[in-house]
Structures are given as structure tokens and as C-alpha cells.
Structure 1
Amino acid sequence: MSYFAADDRYETMTYRRAGRSGVRLPALSLGLWHNFGDGRPFERQRAIVRRAFDRGVTHIDLANNYGPPPGAAEETFGRLLATDLRPYRDELFVSTKAGYEMWAGPYGEWGSKKYLVASLDQSLRRLGLDYVDVFYSHRFDPDTPLEETMGALDAIVRSGKALYAGISNYTAEQTAQAARILRDLGTPLLLHQPSYSMLNRRIEHDRLLDTLAEAGAGCVAYSPLQQGLLTDRYLHGVPADSRVATSVFLNTSDLDDATMGRIRALDEIAAGRKQSLAQLALTWALRDERMTSLIIGASSVEQLDTNLDALHGAPLTGDELAAIDTVLVGG
């Protein structure tokens, strides 16, 4: 069955500029980290991506190791591009990354030029694309000179295999150094992708948004729902199919009494706003205009729609922000 995108797909989505660039991204982007590997029904994956695009989500976030197994998410999205989205390629902003282990040996992970260039070539084959819109160094490599890693990103952009350069999981200090190197090479840093949520505020303590503003770069945060903790998923126990039960990224120790107390208190604040807990968490993480976009996952169209509806909620008031801070850090 042929796919024709919704005519009104740009009417309700909010777009934010990435730093001082010409790029504008949807306030909520779709990440294919967990739900687009093998073992997931393809038609469900297709329905999620179609619905996201129909609602103005133009940014699709990938990495070489997303699956499982590694590479599977790129293959899935490549299939969707071939069957559904090819006519809309120029409306899409597709990102991928390299930094974590993909193959055996000394050139299969981290930040060498050898690895980054080879990994992107493999990603492009899986995606069926000539280029991606942004290519990220997925993590800082303490053993490779930053000049080599950033030089590889510069060379990749100049080759036409990526339009922009990005970094992920770098500290503010590392980010400032990377941005200086890229600026001197003539390929400005476009985006940084850190982890950020109500329960993980490290980038605030590191003043990363200040660093990015000085560099003219944008910020696209992942895990704004803290791997599902900031949803109603665990308010009444641990479901058998939840990430706590099935994933290495969460375990039962993450659901200690103190954390669950905060989550229940936040849920009460959300209810007072007529929002779900997830919607409150997304609204909160977008409260600073320097946050370009948040990456959300989705295991169903219904979950996707609920999270996207967070953009229709009222801005948080000063009293609500104070109440949230009291829950998170104490009054």
C-alpha cells in the first residue's frame, strides 16, 4: 500500500533552531534506539515512523549500534526509506553515530579516523543513502587525539557523506575543545547529544548549554524519560515486558524507595496540569529555549501520540517549576 504523507504535517509541530545554524528541528524527534531492531514487528515499526512524520517529526535519530543486533535499526529505517519515505528524503533530517563497539579488533570502536569513516560507510549502505544530515562522534575517546576525531568529522563533511558534524556524551570542557577544533577547520559543530532528564541533570551542573551557546551549537537530548522511569510504567510495580525486566540499561535498583517517591510526587504535579507524567517530563526538559530537541522512543503509535501531545500543554509556571525542584532536590 502506497504511503502519502499527511498534508497538514507541518501545522502543529514546533521547530527550534539548532544554535546559530540554518537548521530547525522538531521539538520532539524520533529515536530508533530500542524498538527498531530484530524481533519487533515491521508493520508496527512502519506505523510509528509514518505517524511521526505525519505529525511533523522530521528528525530521525540513529546510531551504528542501534538494534539489537547492532546495525538492525539502520537496516529497518533503510527499508522504510525505500518503501515509504524516499519521496520525502529532502524533508527528513537523518542522523547516525559511531563510537561504541561494532566489530572486533582495534578499529571497531572509539574515535579514530579509521573507525569513524568505515562505520559511516557501513551505515550509509544499511540506510541506502548517499549522505546523512548529521554524523556524530558518539563518545569521547581518551586515547585518540581530539584533533584526529574532529578532523575525521571535518573530512566526512567535506566528502559529502554528512552535511553537519555532531558529538555526543562529551563533557562541557571536551565540547568546548571539540568546537574550537571544528571551527578552525571550517566545519562548525552543529549539535551535541547528551543524556538529560528530571532524574539526570548533569548537563546543568556542567553548564553544557552555556558552552554550546558560546559555540553556536544546538542541543538534542536523549533519554528525557529516563528509560521509562518518568512514565506511569512503574507506578504500580514492574511489568514483565518493561525495560527494568528486560534491558541492561535499567534494573530494580533504579526503583528504590526514594526514586519512586519522587516519581509519584511528580505524577501528582502532572495530574494537576492534566498531563501524563511523561508529558510533564518532556515539557520540563524543553523549558529552556536552548534545548533544540528531545529524542523520544516509541513502542506503539499510541505511545508516540501521547508523548507528542506534550507540545500542546501549557508552559510550566514559576510555581510549578519550584514545586518540581522541591521534589527533585528538596525544598
Structure 2
Amino acid sequence: MKNGIQLRRLGNSDLQLSPLGLGCWQFSKGSGIVGKFWPVLGDDAIQDIVRTSLAGGINWFDTAEIYGGGQSERMLADALNAAGELAKSAHVATKWWPIMRSAPSISGTIEDRLRCLKGWPIDLHQVHQPYSFSTAASEMREMAKLVKAGKIKHVGVSNFSAAKMREADRTLREFGLRLTSNQVKYSLLDRRIERNGVMETAKELGVAIIAYSPLEQGLLTGKFHGNPELVKQLSGPRKWAAAFKPERLKRTQPLIDLLHQLAAKYDASPGQVALNWLINAHGETVFAIPGASKPHQALENVKAMRFALDADEIAKLSSISSLYAR
């Protein structure tokens, strides 16, 4: 228990984490290609977001090498250090970028990751994508070396298929290790992992699912349905996405209506209800990493862990979202 939040074990690891972590892509400071997806946040804003998350019971943070070429890692480390005692039990997950690289790069870049994190240990190191010049097995062998050397504590993957999850876990078992997690896109509007074997395999292997984009880039907050004009104010590629077009907003309105109904019952927001469904619909298998670019959004995330939908409400949301989800 942390600040009233019930912690749960992350997959096959010994990590006890809050059901929600904080996704830190938005800490990229506009650096690199993917860093330009979000507006540039000031250092004070980043520290406020991290402090608010910690104070509310979130005890882990997910970043990556590709987020600003290490800039997100550095900003996260600075914010955790600035939080002092509040961050004493915080955990950090980061990711190795595999595209146009081969497995030895995992060991070759680990010192860069540790330098960027400024003394914060890597509790979970993940392969960010399944596409590289190496097999999943060779990547897991490199990860196993890092665990043995004490450079990282646990091994995860991201965007891996069911078959690649099995390959990764099978290889890690050769070293007395297990695959801890698979970080994938998952939300009420994107339930593909329930159909392609990823969720089923995760449950079979005891692997945690870490859901990114759990609010579909803000769609599940309902604010764009309530005021479609807000779409015009978006920066980056979101404003051109099909999901934000008026006809798509109209089509998914019944799901948003139900989120509003349940939000009223729990004195919550639609986004909090959507997150609550995510972390409770599959027992303790699913964790989620919503982002936050403002402190009040971090507070919204935290409040999503302070109630629990009942089984009938979860089933109703599952049923209606299946009509609109990918």
C-alpha cells in the first residue's frame, strides 16, 4: 500500500507497483523526431507533474532512450532527485531503441542510459520495438548479461507479438530469468491484443501488460466529444488523426456517454473511469502509463486508482466499447 493505493506485483518480477505509472514521453523537451510530438515543458512543470504523481501514490515512471535521445530520462531523473524523500521508493523503467541496430547495442548503450538517469537504477529495461537486425532471443541474451552484471533488474519488451513474447520468455528461462512485461497499445478504443493472442499469452506466462495510450491521446476524456472545436487547438499530428474527425467523434459518442454516467456515480471523470476499466478488467494483469503535461492531469491520473468499477460495470463498458474499438 502506498498513499492509500494498493500495489500489485509486475508480472514475473518482485516489483510492487501502483496500477498506474506515469508515461514520460512528454518530457522530451522537443528533442529528436518523436520528441516533437508534444509541446516543450519547462523544468518546473516537469517537476510539479512528477511530484504530484508521487504524492498521489504513483511509484513508477516509464521513459525511453528514443524520447528526446535521452532527454526524457534526464528530465525524469532531475525531477525525482528534486522530489527528495517523496521519491525514495520510486522505480524507473526505460527502453532500448532497436531499429537499425543489433542486439550487442543493448550492452553497448547501457552506460548511456545509466548516465542519463543520473544514479537512478533501471528496474525494468525493455526492448522498445520488435524490429531490429537481431532476433528476440539474441536481444534477451544481452539483457540477461545486464541482469547478471547488476546493470538492470528486470527485462521487458514492447509491441511484441504473442510468438515473440514466447521466444523472449523461453530464452530468458535459460538464464534463470523470466519475461516481466510487454508494453502495448491498449484502451477501450483499441482492444486488438484481446484478439491477436497477446493478452492470452501474457496471462498464460504471467507477463504483465503495460498499456500505453490508455486514453487514446485524450479521446476517452470526452472533452473532444463535448467540444469538437478543441481539435483545432491541438498541436502535432493528433489533429489530423481519423479518430478526431467529427464523424468518428459522433460514432463513439455512446461509449463516452456511458463513461459520463459511471463518472457521475463515482464522483470521477470519464477519463478516470476509462483508466479504471483498464486496470481492473483483467485482474492484476494490466498496468497503464497515462502521460501528463500539466500537474492537474497528473492528479486526474492518481484519482483513477481510488475507486473500483464493479463486475457488471466492467462488463457493460467492455460490451459497448467492442462496437467501436479497433
TM-score interval (norm. to shorter): 0.7 to 0.9
Match for residue 47 of structure 2? 46
Match for residue 11 of structure 2? 19
Match for residue 288 of structure 1? 282
How far residue 320 of structure 1 moved from its aligned partner, in angstroms, is: 5.9
Answer yes or no: is the 8 Å Cα contact 1:209–1:290 preserved in 2.
no
1:99 equivalent to 2:89? Answer no
Out of 181, 186, 208, the residue aligned to residue 218 of structure 1 is 208
CA distance in 1, matches of 2:110, 2:232: 33
User: Structure 1 residues 189 and 249 mapped into 2: Cα distance closer, same or farther (>3 Å)?
Assistant: farther
Secondary structure at the aligned position of 1:311 is classed as: coil
Match for residue 81 of structure 1? 80
How far residue 257 of structure 1 moved from its aligned partner, in angstroms, is: 4.6
Q: TM-score, normalised by structure 2?
A: 0.86
CA distance in 1, matches of 2:258, 2:172: 43
1:31-68 deviations in Å (ceiling 9; x for gaps): 101245253111111011011111121111110111xx
Answer yes or no: is the 8 Å Cα contact 2:24–2:291 preserved in 1.
yes
CA distance in 1, matches of 2:318, 2:192: 17
Match for residue 264 of structure 1? 253
CA distance in 2, matches of 1:130, 1:272: 42
Answer yes or no: is the 8 Å Cα contact 2:210–2:288 preserved in 1.
yes
How far residue 305 of structure 1 moved from its aligned partner, in angstroms, is: 1.3
Out of 141, 163, 176, the residue aligned to residue 186 of structure 1 is 176
Match for residue 157 of structure 1? 147
How far residue 312 of structure 1 moved from its aligned partner, in angstroms, is: 2.5
Answer yes or no: is the 8 Å Cα contact 2:63–2:73 preserved in 1.
yes
- The amino acid that maps onto 2:142 is A
Answer yes or no: is the 8 Å Cα contact 1:35–1:298 preserved in 2.
no
Answer yes or no: is the 8 Å Cα contact 2:27–2:76 preserved in 1.
no
Answer yes or no: is the 8 Å Cα contact 2:228–2:246 preserved in 1.
no
Answer yes or no: is the 8 Å Cα contact 2:130–2:160 preserved in 1.
yes
How far residue 99 of structure 1 moved from its aligned partner, in angstroms, is: 1.9
Q: TM-score, normalised by structure 1?
A: 0.85
How far residue 307 of structure 1 moved from its aligned partner, in angstroms, is: 2.4
Answer yes or no: is the 8 Å Cα contact 1:164–1:190 preserved in 2.
yes
Match for residue 34 of structure 2? none
| Paired residues for 1:3-14 under 5 Å | 10-14=2-6
- The amino acid that maps onto 1:279 is Q
How far residue 241 of structure 1 moved from its aligned partner, in angstroms, is: 7.8
Aligned residues with identical type, % of pairs: 25
User: Structure 1 residues 78 and 18 mapped into 2: Cα distance closer, same or farther (>3 Å)?
Assistant: closer
- The amino acid that maps onto 1:293 is F
Aligned-residue CA RMSD (Å) = 2.4
Answer yes or no: is the 8 Å Cα contact 1:136–1:166 preserved in 2.
yes
Secondary structure at the aligned position of 2:126 is classed as: strand
Match for residue 104 of structure 1? none
Match for residue 230 of structure 2? 239
Q: Which runs of 5+ in 1 are unaligned?
A: 1-8, 101-108
CA distance in 1, matches of 2:86, 2:174: 34
CA distance in 1, matches of 2:277, 2:248: 18
- The amino acid that maps onto 1:120 is I
- The amino acid that maps onto 1:84 is A
- The amino acid that maps onto 1:294 is A
Match for residue 106 of structure 1? none
How far residue 325 of structure 1 moved from its aligned partner, in angstroms, is: 1.9
Secondary structure at the aligned position of 2:25 is classed as: coil
Out of 160, 165, 178, the residue aligned to residue 170 of structure 1 is 160
How far residue 138 of structure 1 moved from its aligned partner, in angstroms, is: 0.7
1:146-198 deviations in Å (ceiling 9; x for gaps): 22111111111111110011111001111111111111222211111111011
1:300 equivalent to 2:298? Answer no
Match for residue 61 of structure 1? 62
CA distance in 2, matches of 1:250, 1:185: 46
How far residue 232 of structure 1 moved from its aligned partner, in angstroms, is: 2.7
User: Structure 1 residues 217 and 151 mapped into 2: Cα distance closer, same or farther (>3 Å)?
Assistant: same
How far residue 323 of structure 1 moved from its aligned partner, in angstroms, is: 5.4
Secondary structure at the aligned position of 1:189 is classed as: coil
Deviates more, 1:183-192 or 1:260-269: 260-269
Match for residue 30 of structure 1? 22
Answer yes or no: is the 8 Å Cα contact 2:278–2:286 preserved in 1.
no
Q: How many residues align?
A: 309
Secondary structure at the aligned position of 2:48 is classed as: helix
